């Protein structure tokens, strides 16, 4: 069946929401957690399938979702509803004790944390050339960029919608929210002026850094930051929107 079903992943972007048969498989036998057993198949290049991605719309899970599409992977998806605190349910915590998304279930085990998942996808599907996996230094540069997005940019953003992770006092929460436009802008100033090497993050070659930057850059408007301040990042967003995997 054609892999063509689309759904509104965020208010800005549309991305694929597919299982291998083109359907939404959030519920299997009446439950999103009926089974996490992953059937496997080996590609001729040694890459693995099939995987299952647990996600919520508007989250950093979009980066791994795009990467799976770019890799040509066979995978299924399960939507975890934050509105009903499904990420804190005993069933989901049995899969990911952190209670976060994304989670990627593979034939080797369960992965969490976006940089690790992106590296795994790139290394599992080498023919897709999503990272310079044969060059230790160049691959480390990819990891360094993705680590900055994970450890700094994402945390800057999280102080607005997730401030309760750090404080309970209403005044402190409000202060954190007010700081977010400043910290997000500072991070993207650095990305714009020092970290982007070309039309793609790593230069002329598309890598797993690109869907990750695209995803976190998609939060700028909600954080009261005008993306027009960053012409390279804006051009990158436009270029990403032209890719079939997005």
pLDDT of residue 49: 57
| Res 83: pLDDT | 94
Task: Give pLDDT, residue 6.
Answer: 29
Q: What percent of the chain has pLDDT over 70?
A: 80
Number of H helices, E strands in the chain: 8, 8
148-156 long-range Cβ contacts below 8 angstroms, 24+ apart: 148/187, 148/195, 149/114, 149/115, 149/212, 149/213, 149/216, 150/113, 150/114, 150/115, 152/187, 153/184, 153/187, 153/188, 153/191, 153/216, 154/60, 154/216, 156/180, 156/183, 156/184, 156/187
98-107 pLDDT, tens digit per residue, is 999 999 999 9
Confidence (pLDDT) at 45:
52
Out of 22-36, 138-152, 169-183, pick the least confident: 22-36
Both structure tokens of 80: 């975890």
pLDDT value for 46: 55
Residue 22 above 50 pLDDT? no
The continuous run of DSSP H or E covering 78 comes out as strand 75-79
Average pLDDT for 112-137:
98
Q: How confident is the model at residue 39 (pLDDT cuts 50, 70, 90)?
A: very low
Place of tokens 């909600």: 222
CA distance 30 to 41: 26
Distances (CA, A) of 58 to 13, 81, 241: 9, 11, 16
Mean pLDDT of the chain: 84
Predicted pLDDT at 25: 32
- Is the confidence at residue 35, as pLDDT, over 50? no
pLDDT at 47 > cutoff 60:
no
The residue assigned the tokens 């700094």 is: 152
Give the C-alpha separation, 212 to 233, whole Å. Answer: 12
Q: What is the pLDDT of residue 223?
A: 96
């Amino acid at each position: 069946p054609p892999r063509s079903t689309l759904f509104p992943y965020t208010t800005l972007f549309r991305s694929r929401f597919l299982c291998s048969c083109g359907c939404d498989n959030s519920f299997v036998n009446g439950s999103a957690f009926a089974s996490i057993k992953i059937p496997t198949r080996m590609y001729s290049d040694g890459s693995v399938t099939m995987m299952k991605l647990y996600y919520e719309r508007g989250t950093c899970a979009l980066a791994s979702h795009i990467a799976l599409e770019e890799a040509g992977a066979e995978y299924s998806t399960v939507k975890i509803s934050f509105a009903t605190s499904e990420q804190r349910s005993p069933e989901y915590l049995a899969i990911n004790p952190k209670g976060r998304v994304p989670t990627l279930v593979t034939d080797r085990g369960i992965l969490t944390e976006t940089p690790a998942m992106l590296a795994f996808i790139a290394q599992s599907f080498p023919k897709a050339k999503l990272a310079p996996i044969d060059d230790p230094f160049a691959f480390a540069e990819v990891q360094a960029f993705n680590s900055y997005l994970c450890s700094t940019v994402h945390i800057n953003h999280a102080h607005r919608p997730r401030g309760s992770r750090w404080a309970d006092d209403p005044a402190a929460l409000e202060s954190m929210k007010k700081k977010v436009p400043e910290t997000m802008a500072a991070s993207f100033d650095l990305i714009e002026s020092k970290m982007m090497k070309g039309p793609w993050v790593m230069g002329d070659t598309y890598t797993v850094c690109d869907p990750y930057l695209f995803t976190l850059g998609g939060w700028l408007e909600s954080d009261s930051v005008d993306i027009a301040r960053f012409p390279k990042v804006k051009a990158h967003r436009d270029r990403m929107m032209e890719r079939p995997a997005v």
